[in-house]
Structure 1
Amino acid sequence: MATTSPGTRASTTEFVTNSLSARLPEFTYDPENGCTFDVWYNRYEDVITQDGATLDDAAKARLIVSKLDAAAFARFTNHILPKKPAEVSVADTVKTLQELFGHNTSVFARRYTYLRTQCSAEQMKCLVWICGLSASDYADIRAHALRKMEENPHLTLKELSAGIQQILDIRQDAKLLSSPLSPPTLPDVNAVSATRNRAKEPPSPCFRCGGSHSAKDCDYLEKTCHSCKRIGHKKGFCRNFNKRRKRNTKKKPRRNNQVVVVASTATNAAPVKRIYRTVTINGTPTRMRLDTGADVTLLSLKDWITIGRPKLLPPLFALRSADNKEIKVRGHFQCNFSIEGHEGRGNCHVADTASLLGLDWITQVEPLFHQLTGNATCNAVSATTLAKLRSSLTTQLQKQFATVFAPGLGRCTKSKASLKLKPDATPVFRKARPVPYAVLPRLSQEIDRLIAANVLSTVDHSDWAATIVVVQKKNGSIRLCADFSTGLNNALDQHQHPLPTPDDIFTKLNGGQYFSQLDLAEAYLQLEVDEESRPLLTINTHQGLYRFNRLPFGVKSAPAIFQQQMDTMIAGLDGTAAYLDDIIVTGKTINEHNARLEAVLRRIHDYGFRVRLEKCSFLQTEIRYLGFIVNAKGRQPDPAKIEAIHNMPPPKDVSQLRAFLGLVNFYGNFVKNLHNLRVPLDALTKKAATFLWTPACQSSFDRIKAILKSDLLLTHYDPSLPIVVAADASNYGIGAVLSHQFPNGSEKAIYHASRP
């Protein structure tokens, strides 16, 4: 078993002490503001005892004393005379500091001060209401409410509750967006049939003819009386008809008997399937369920009482639920309403059901209609419906862009690739490498295929020649790859065009709800090479020399050349980004997405490229792209990639540690203050450092993997939203976070930056 020298143990203790000291703030005694040693120690006790588990008691005592400010340190050292701080145990040090720097007033004095505190009735209501949010799930809600009270001391309980309700509504909507799209299991829409008179004996004989049927079904309804020459009754019933007409003119208008459609009124429906909005009715905020499938707006009896019991007029409709049970309608009233600043006026029907926001209110204000139904309609598309739309879209695109999806290799008609040699470049000719005999038949077939596609041409002589490498694909076929690293790449000037970073690409996807991916078939080979560059691209095979007429994989400048061509092709197209041969298209709605997708395919057609249909995906709500999962909420690391990091064993040397840190850095913008987590690991990568895997290193290693495994999410960048920048620095690095501030006051991270 390896032994540790005393010098190494001292170095490790010093490192851990310095690391913990950087994390602990200085203690300043301020009892008036609640800054006592008890408060400070309770907060950082775990840092000292758990993270400093490798330290002995003397080192822990030194650590605590070192965090006292000048005044506290002087008072402590004077109190323990004639002892020195190093002679006092950690337990006695903590006990002494608690006695010296505790509350310096009696309980009676503190209670007296509390009772003398004055606040208005509304402030007291708000504080009592906040105290009721005691559950741990409401911690952020409590913090938000207290912050609102600090910002506005005159805040009323009604205003505070309305603000909190808005936050809860947004959470409810977020749950709806994050839940899997699936057909609803409960009745979402109930058609309420009009009440109809069944075939039964009428209460009185027909006044038109005296028969045993209803007057509206009478055969004399449109016949002329031979006596009075009036239409609508039989001879001899003129008097009855006239009396009836007089009575009908005095009657109140009959209740409208039209068919009304309302949403499910069941109170036990799963809340995750619903969207709620806070609606202000006659000045009073009311939480209502949003349903774009409801023709009328309903208000529960409880909410009607809350808004002040406005006077009710007779019911306008007879409502029944899906199971044909009658819904008792108390009446209706006209009112003014507003939703998120949009105002309107309409009828509100009071019924023994949940409060429901219907289309009669939604459609009154156009911005309100687009705001509510736009999102709700998109999000309400079930998985089954989306699959049908996807299938229909795929079929339509195949017919509309048949040449783009046709088998075979495309050819760019807009430009050709050009390779530039360095001034001092000299030709390099390499002999053919031996190829396994079992692969020779398939290699010959692949060469013949490339010759038929005009990718390769036979040559008899060349100053340049590169070897080849045969790679087997997943489907069993092979790929012929040229190894230009043997000479040509060193002689080429680099093509100056940057590849887009993931941040560049995801910025273009801002606001997208639906996504499609296009994959160009044998991407580089669709781009021709000019005549001057072709001799440089000669390969040496078992069959002799061949020259590439198209841009092959493996050329140093090929990625930049091809990326420049892609950027030129998609220039000016909204919601579209390309990383080499992988093109992504997005849209806020299905129609917008489809229009943008067609525009991209039209460009691809104009440029002569072809797309591999089996590797494309259309109309998705979530895609994997560049090692990330992208959806409407933002982006997060691909779980498959994170799983590879999570399964990595602890490194055995510096090279393995650097490999681990390289993988972590790829997702570093998801992790806040990564530089602090990496401190023990970064210390091992320094020059002349001894590789000693300590418990602190293992703890840092495990914490980084655990954080990457957690629910990490970055929101999309939106130029229309305010940006909040927060930065922090320590002895071990700097960290920053770029966030968006949303209209509801919440903040979501766009990017985390960290550097040792």
Structure 2
Amino acid sequence: MANSYFGILSSFNHDIQEWKTYKSRINQWFLANEINNTTDPSGKKRRAILLSALSEGTYRLAENLALPKDVQEVPYEDILRFFDIHFNPKIVGFTERHNFYAASQQPGETHSQWAARLRGLTSRCAFHDIEEALRDRFIMGMMPSLEKEKLYAQDITNLTLTKAVEFAENVRCAKSAAIASASTADASAASTSALYKIRSRGKGARSVKSDLPVKQKCKVCGYTNHKASECRYADFVCRECNVVGHLRRMCTSNKVNYVDNGAGDENIDDDGKVFKIRSLRGEPMVETVFIQGMAFKFEIDSGSAVTVIPEKLYKSHFKDIPLIVPHKRLMSYTGDSITCVGTIRLPVYYTNRSHTLDVYVVRDGGPPLLGRDFISTFQLELSSVLSTVNYCQGTLPSVEELQCQFPVLFSDKLGRFTKHKVHLQLKDNAKPVFFKARPIAFALRNKINNELDRMVELGVLKPVDHADYASPIVPVLKRNGTIRLCADYSVSINRQLIIDQYPLPTAKELFAKLYGGKNFTKLDLSMAYNQFELDDESQRYTVINTHRGLYKYTRLVFGLAPAPAIFQRAMEGLIGGQEGVLCLLDDVLITGRDDAEHAARLRAVLQTLQEAGLTLQREKCEFYKDEVNYLGYVINKNGLKKSPDKIKAIVDSPAPSNISQLQSFLGLVNYYRNFVPSAASVLSPLYNLLKKGVKWSWGLDHHEAFTKIKLLLASDQPTSTPKQG
């Protein structure tokens, strides 16, 4: 006989949930069901329950953390320890305080919820006076409202967080009471039948005059079937003025009077009826929600009491979640019974919030529906959704919207490519090469130490006691004063590695995809190479020797000879085949002939990158630009232009005094030789100096060619327009 457990244990997806919270919940679930060291001395049962509750992506993570062992053989306590180490990195005080001071109250978030969320952010801030910091940020981070204005006028001496929350709630309640008292609707208006029949006025319908008195509208929502004091939208936040107590269409701050469209009252019956309601134009209200890290499009249907998905969707994405016997019977508008095969509890992520909903799975269902349970849980204001029903499909999504839809991609964390690990292959005659650590300047020692600590904390570097291969490091001082550590593999392992022959695309091949582009989005991968994991064998070859000892790279690193080709092959495999998408190493450029095409291509690329486990460096990304710098060119809808910075470098170059300097100059010039039709003849004297057996002698003809090519490149030549195909 199967065991009956108390409570429901939801699944864990590390992309949208916190391990610390989930660990506490699963421990409480084990406690409630008496699963402990006595009843489960080996921990096998707890291990099986935990692993079965992991999402697919999190299970893969557990497998990787357990290597070289099989995760199904690792003790339960060890799995917990793996997750603790992985999800609870070393605390960085200023980072935590930045998150605290950057937090602000969200639309729909009550004052109590805002205070509770803020308190949770202080756990790692190490404040000396937590209550004072909480009080200050609570008030400063509040949304613009009457409550905030009145709190700013309070005496700060004796004002605590508790008093501030209580004061704000009192002001809100007083404001709601004032709104309610303004309504003079007759009490009998609320006693009408709970069922409403909505009819569309067709061409043959006659206008019927009524002698009944006109009912006064609710000051909160605008309907006439109840008082404002009984309105269920009384606690909603207006999206026009951000004040609690009314919907946007009843807001007086915008000075626009609401016009009753005569559509009738809303059916507020929650007995499990599923009504498919559409707008007058037949266009569905569609919203994107995230479930277990995947994006789904649902239709919002206020006629449905519950959230519904078809059985086909359940089988394709959630079949591993057991069905629960439904506690409601579902009926259509006509009274016909709808076959419900069961319910599942799913964590739904929407507008930066996550709630667990009971989702009904129906047989032969239509599109997924977000019902009134979703609307109520997420405090969705339908008037704002209705205002976007006729949303122009050609409008480009805002950056904030993209960050919400792809939270992992814009998380500012180091990504991890999930498709495969990188393998470095040695030549047959390869022999271990070990270099001692090079001496470093004392002035750079602390900076190098900080960078080593940072890379270890990120998991890019890992200390080792001994190694067969070791390469010296070259510290490079960046403009901001920090250090970039570069391994000098040119003297060690690069000579013994088999180089991937995957070709990098030429600029001409790339820019052919730009044909017809209107505006441009440029994406930059955060620490691009470091997002690709090395397999265990390859990590042995990447060891660096420092003044603090040996470290091995666990990720692909700049300086390894095969790295560019390996990275390019992977990126081409992900997004190389998409139209209007250019990719050369960590720089991705996206365009389209119109906004709709641009938006569709951008979302497709972002979805692909997120599914592959990669992340972007938000600060370096550029969205919807009329003109961008890419691969040394300035690109706009008219074509390609020369980069002013590169042209300046060419113009300012002194006359070369040897072959090496001449080769460097010609390398710069050749980048833009397509802009000079006669480049070959102009440069001919310079190339003659590079011929075998020619003695170096800089003469007048060389100087004239040198000067002329500079003038031609510096002139305003017509832009080069990429051709299609």
TM interval, short-chain normalised: 0.3 to 0.5
The alignment's TM-score, normalised by the length of structure 1, stands at 0.42
Structure exhibiting the larger radius of gyration computed from Cα positions: 1
The alignment's TM-score, normalised by the length of structure 2, stands at 0.44
Structure with more strand by fraction: 1
